[in-house]
Amino acid sequence: MKHGSKDSNNYYRFGRTIQSLSILVLFSFLPVDNVIAQIEQPDGYRMEFYDDNVPAELDGASPVTAVEVKRLQESAGAVVVDVIPQQRRPNFLPENQIWIPVDHKGIPGAIWLPDTGYGALSDITEKYFQHHLDIASNGNKDHPLVFYCRADCWMSWNAAKRALTYGYTNVHWFYDGIDDWFFEGFDVEVLTPAEGQRQAEVLDK
C-alpha cells in the first residue's frame, strides 16, 4: 500500500475512529468523579466568583430539581426564594441617559430577595433576609423553604446555608435554578423585589 494513497488514508481514518470510540467507551464506564472533579463544600460561604461550578450537595439541605420544586409548591406550600441580584443602573451612564431594566422573570409565587446570596451581607441586608423568611414561613422553622438563582450559581447555596444557621430545618437547594425551570417549560412571572431596605454587596465595597 503506497504512502499517501487513497487506501492508506482511509485506513488511517478508520484506525483513528476505532481509537476514539475505544476512549469514549472507556470513559463511559468510569465513575463521574473520575472524569469531573468533585467540587468541595467550603467551611463558610462562597465569597467571590459566584457564577462557577457548585458542589453536588449542601450539608443539612436537600438538593432539588425543577420538577421537585413544583411538587413542593403544590403539595407542601413551600416558600420559594429567588436570590438573584437586582439589576442596577450602570455608574458609567450619563445622568440624562434613559435606562430601562429588563423584567425579572422567576418562579410564580416566589419571593424575590435580591442581594441576599452574597458571601458577606451587611447588617441591613441580613435583617431584610431574616425578616422576609420569618414572614413567609409564618415563624415556622419547619416550613419548607426552597432557594434558587441560576445554574452554577453559588448565591442560592449561600442563601440556603444561611437559612440553616437561622434554625430552619426543612431547607431545599434548587441547584440548577431558573435555568432548569425554563428547561422544563414551566410558567414564569415577573417578580418585584420584596419591600424593605437592603444593600447590594457591590455597593458596600
Which CATH number belongs to the domain containing residue 103 in this structure?
3.40.250.10
Indicate if 28 and 111 belong to the same structural domain.
Answer: no
Quick: pLDDT tens for 105-140: 999 999 999 999 999 999 999 999 999 999 999 999
Domain annotation covers residue 55: no
Whether this prediction's pTM lies above 0.75 is answered by yes
Indicate if 129 and 198 belong to the same structural domain.
Answer: yes
Domain annotation covers residue 49: no
Indicate if 16 and 75 belong to the same structural domain.
Answer: no
Per the structure, the complete domain to which residue 29 belongs is given by 6-35
Domain annotation covers residue 57: no
Min mean pLDDT across 10-19, 64-73, 76-85, 157-166 is at 10-19
* Bridge partners, residue 193, by sequence: 112
Q: How many domains does the chain fold into?
A: 2
**pLDDT of 85 above 50:** yes
Indicate if 76 and 151 belong to the same structural domain.
Answer: yes
Quick: pLDDT tens for 3-59: 444 454 444 344 444 444 444 444 345 454 443 458 999 989 998 999 899 999 999
